[in-house]
Structure 1
Amino acid sequence: MSIKTSGLHHVTAIGGNPQRNVDFYLRTLGLRLVKTTVNFDDPGTYHLYYGDQSGKPGSLITFFPWSDAPAGRLGTGQATTTAFSVPETSLGWWQQHLKAQGVETSQIRNADNEETLAFRDPDGLQLALVAHPQGDPRDPWDTKLVPAENAIRGLHSVTLSVSKEDATAGMFTDGLGLSFHSQEGNRFRFEAGEGGPGALVDVLVTPETPRGLVATGTVHHVAWRAPDEPTQAAWREELVDKGVNVTSILDRQYFRSIYFREPGGTLLEVATDAPGFTYDEPLLELGRALKLPPWLEPRRDEIEHMLPKLNLPSENNPEQK
């Protein structure tokens, strides 16, 4: 593989009630809503992007919140845990903070000597906060509810559940340019570039587990970073040459994307770093207004009528009077 990803770009999941989703990720987890737009394939549904101040690649979790969608089922063929990176000394604070919000947690330590706090969001999505011993230099979004000294730095890793590891491992090493890092029992860790928070994927092998069902409370896809469009185009050709069924390059306004499935069944994406979320609104105003791509703008009145109104907590734009 001549082209290699530098790490995770974003994780996209399916949520339920959009207001509940906003309240949890802004107020409970302290992320910033950096873009309020719609699912381009289903514009009657929001697409909400949460991340750091500017929504840098590697900080992002995004949602399609369908209020009437059925509950999903965790299992093989999907990403089953999304982990965020937090300061090493912050897990006690997070445990108390989440408890005060009515969120149950469990604490573990993994083979990399990382302390982890596991919990679920209101729709049942499996999440974790990981305190990496070597720290994480990324700047957080700072709010009164979740101050910078404890705040999420960005994505740490994702866990994929599969019935067998060989073909999935081959996709990560030969298709995405990751390298094998370590094994702990039936969990195999791979890393992009120099590794560390934001560049990790764990492959959990559970052949006895039934196939998962992607719906509310589950991950829809996992996106990996490409630095620019020429690299992405060349990458696509390499994947096609390997016999991978890859989509055409799609315009997502804030990045360009290609999609394909790894052999275990999880939908993967390769997304460009640019142009980013300040493409259509200033940094200080990110997430406040509904943004539509040019081809949907003529339908704005219809789309706004279909979408439930969102009330954004003041934490999203604390400088706003």
Structure 2
Amino acid sequence: MSSKGIHHVTAIAGPAQRNLDFYTRILGLRLVKKTVNFDDPGTYHLYYGDEAGHPGSILTFFPWEHVAPGRIGLGETQETVFRVPEGSIAYWTQRFVENGVAHQPLTRRFGDPVLSFQDPDGMRLALAAVPGIENETGWTDAGIPADAAIRGFHGVNLLLAQAAPTGAVLTDIFGFSEIGREGSLVRYRVPDGGAGSIIDIREASGYLPARLGGGSVHHIAFRAADDAEEAAMVRKLAENHGIRTTEQKDRNYFRSVYFREPGHVLFEIATDIPGFAVDEPASELGQTLKLPPFLEARRSALEASLPRLGQSAP
């Protein structure tokens, strides 16, 4: 069974245009898919990532115009961390100052410089300066220099009462290994490294349970190469951990199952196939509203009800 790490992270946002502006204009990510929440088609589902929308680079949002703010707490993703080339943190700090992005003083985490910040909905994010990724391709359409552009996810930070039960699932099902501890933080990594290869678990007590809302991460998806590998993971979850998943759901760009891990975070297993170019050319990703076949008959009504989105200039 392969070990590949994070496929995507899905979060909840407020106004869709504000979300689009921040992630494309400020962070310089590419809008790789504009579709709807298949379970709530009156709401967009926006996907941001690198040029091709590779697994490990994708951050997605359900933007609800009047969503109430979430509350950070146990059983939630505390922070979503992107990778940037070593030496680019000064550029990003200045960019955040110039654009009024709330951010924290630079810190170090397992030796890497980390710049924590928040999006307009209060979602907790960070940039980790990682050595040796300068030659990886970054999306630079927002005027961000190639030597500073985001190179997918570094990983995510979970806030849990205990690390070990969740760590057992990460290691047995997804191929992670515990590689270090730093205070209350336990780090897991897939041996292949690369984008989306890190899960940090912060053990904490005294927190209330998380409350989902604007700025909250809804779920984390882990990669499976195809349906067969996903099915093998589902069997292993049931046999080794007594955890059962949902039935497989076709999300057009991947096929998914969902489950609650022992710390109560919602995990997804998503296939790498078929990818985001299945319904539009790679050169045109994110430019038009894409709907699954079962919603095509409602296209006119949905287009009339969804907020109009305009791509802002960098």
Amino acid at match of 2:89: L
Which residue in the other structure is 2:208 paired with? 210
Question: How much has 1:85 moved relative to structure 2?
Answer: 0.3
Cα gap change, 1:275/1:13 in structure 2, threshold over 3 Å: closer, same or farther? same
On the 8 A contact 1:5/1:224 being kept in 2, the answer is: no
Q: What secondary structure, in the 3-state scheme, does the structure 2 residue paired with 1:287 have?
A: coil
State the identity as a percent.
47
Which residue in the other structure is 2:189 paired with? 191
What are structure 2's unaligned runs of at least 5 residues? Answer: none
Which residue in the other structure is 2:36 paired with? 38
Which residue in the other structure is 1:249 paired with? 248
On the 8 A contact 2:25/2:313 being kept in 1, the answer is: no
Which residue in the other structure is 1:95 paired with? 93
Deviations 1:135-164 (A, max 9, x none): 364311012521211110101110000012
Which residue in the other structure is 1:238 paired with? 236
Which residue in the other structure is 2:307 paired with? 308
Deviations 1:35-71 (A, max 9, x none): 0000000000000000011101011100000112111
Which residue in the other structure is 1:265 paired with? 264
On the 8 A contact 2:134/2:147 being kept in 1, the answer is: no
Deviations 1:77-130 (A, max 9, x none): 011100000011110000011111101222333342100110000000000001
Which residue in the other structure is 1:165 paired with? 163
Amino acid at match of 2:286: G
Match runs of 1:98-137 below 5 Å? 98-135=96-133, 137=135
Q: What secondary structure, in the 3-state scheme, does the structure 2 residue paired with 1:208 have?
A: coil
Q: What secondary structure, in the 3-state scheme, does the structure 2 residue paired with 1:34 have?
A: strand
On the 8 A contact 2:56/2:195 being kept in 1, the answer is: no
On the 8 A contact 2:85/2:132 being kept in 1, the answer is: no
What are structure 1's unaligned runs of at least 5 residues? Answer: 316-321
Amino acid at match of 1:248: E
Amino acid at match of 1:293: P
Question: How much has 1:231 moved relative to structure 2?
Answer: 0.9
Which residue in the other structure is 1:318 paired with? none
Question: How much has 1:235 moved relative to structure 2?
Answer: 1.5
Amino acid at match of 1:250: K
Question: How much has 1:196 moved relative to structure 2?
Answer: 4.9
Cα gap change, 1:137/1:209 in structure 2, threshold over 3 Å: closer, same or farther? farther
Q: Find the partner of 2:178 among 157, 175, 180.
A: 180
Which residue in the other structure is 1:298 paired with? 297
Question: How much has 1:192 moved relative to structure 2?
Answer: 1.3
Q: Partners in 2 of 1:314 and 1:291 — Cα distance?
A: 22
Deviations 1:261-296 (A, max 9, x none): 111110011111111111000111110100000001
Which residue in the other structure is 1:280 paired with? 279
On the 8 A contact 1:4/1:178 being kept in 2, the answer is: no
TM-score by length of 1: 0.94
Higher mean Cα deviation, 141-150 or 65-74? 141-150
